[in-house]
A = this chain, B = another copy of it.
Amino acid sequence: MNDTLLRALRRQPTDHTPVWLMRQAGRYLPEYNRTRARAGSFLDLCRNPGLATEVTLQPLARFPLDAAILFSDILTVPDAMGLGLYFVEGEGPRFERPLRDEWMIRDLSPPDPTVGLRYVLDAVAEIKRALAGEVPLIGFSGSPFTLASYMIEGGGSSDFRMLKTMLYSRPDLLHRILEVNAVAVTDYLNAQIEAGVQAVMVFDTWGGILTPPAYRTFSLAYLERVADGLLKHRDGESVPTIVFTKGGGQWLEAIAGAGYDAVGLDWTTDLAEARERVGQQVALQGNLDPMVLMADPDAIRRECRRVLESFGAHPGHVFNLGHGISQFTPPESVSVLVECVHATSRELRRTGAG
């Protein structure tokens, strides 16, 4: 198996820098859009293990990526809690029953993933069979705080007004939601690990909207609980863990101490400075601006090299974007990028540069 990703996450030497892309199975691929049209809706696609397997493998058929990531949505967990996830075309996720009343929060409980999220675990098993050990499969979940933000707002938000009103006025209620979410996320990721994923990533998409003390109290503390509760091994192999707080660059030292093997970074943080700040405590994942992929091949190669050189030729770097790939990305740009990461990182290791 190509275990470059797992080795890099464990801060072991690799002959090239592994690369995968957040949302690598997605709308920028025409074959994805065809499968999705066959499935019906986005949620139908998530819930159909056969089709979820198909789209998970699509980017690997095109590009020599170093990992597969389970095709799913971060909001399947609150959906399994009974909040009623649905999607409005072009507007993102919504919940039919957001947490607006205190009794709903009191009644909340973590779902049994082997029941309410069976379809995800079935997809993991089917993807594992289909991958046949070619590259590792990454499982994932939203963070307790990020799930809570959607559960309270009922969808995306530009100001997180309802969430923050609760945070400042009724922190007890928010803590109650986060406690349930931390158990739910831990159980869900452990079920994915038992079903076969070889690494897990926690997406804290919205932690960066908080003040530093609120981030520690309402996001980081629950990320730590999840890390504490995760299965560390499966079949004698360690299962590396990644945490990514978008916009969390200022809090990198704290995040690096949360108990994960790797920390994802968006493109606003310089990787050289980040490495200096955390040393060898964790691997780092990132951090190309996804919009670089809109540019011409020369510009893509220039920015790819800049990211690789900023990290330097040390163990512990997983190349990725700093956010999910845009639906407007030309697939050829991804070819250029993946080829560049592999070739340039081999060259940097040879020359000892970076």
Asked, given contacts A169-B296, A250-B250, whether A164 binds B289 with beta carbons under 8 Å apart, the answer is: yes
Asked if A165 CB lies within 8 Å of chain B CBs, one says yes
A326 CA to B326 CA, complexed, in Å: 29
A252 to chain B, nearest CB (A): 9
Chain B residues, Cβ within 8 Å of A352 = none
CB of A249 closer than 8 Å to a CB of B: yes
Q: A168-B299, A168-B303, A291-B161 are in contact. Are A268 and B208 (CB under 8 A)?
A: yes
Q: Interface majority SS on A: helix, strand, loop or mixed?
A: helix
Q: Given A249-B250, A268-B250, A299-B168, are A291 and B160 also a contact pair (CB < 8 Å)? A: yes
Q: Which parts of A203-237 form the interface with B (CB within 8 Å)?
A: 208-214
State the Cβ distance, A328 to closest chain B Cβ, in Å: 6
Q: B168, A294: Cβ atoms under 8 Å?
A: yes
A34 within 8 A of B: no
Known interface pairs A159-B326, A269-B250. Does A291 touch B208 (Cβ–Cβ under 8 Å)?
no
Residues of B within 8 A of A294 (CB): 161, 164-165, 168-169
Chain B residues near A328 (CB-CB < 8 A): 161
Q: Determine the distance from Cα of A268 to Cα of B165 in the docked complex, in whole angstroms.
A: 17
Known: A161-B291, A161-B328, A165-B294. 16 other contacts (CB 8 A): A159-B290, A159-B291, A159-B326, A164-B289, A164-B295, A165-B295, A168-B295, A169-B294, A208-B268, A210-B268, A211-B267, A211-B268, A212-B269, A212-B270, A247-B247, A250-B269
17 contacts between A and B (CB under 8 A): A159-B290, A159-B291, A164-B291, A164-B292, A164-B294, A165-B291, A165-B294, A168-B295, A168-B299, A169-B295, A169-B296, A211-B268, A212-B268, A212-B269, A250-B250, A250-B268, A250-B269
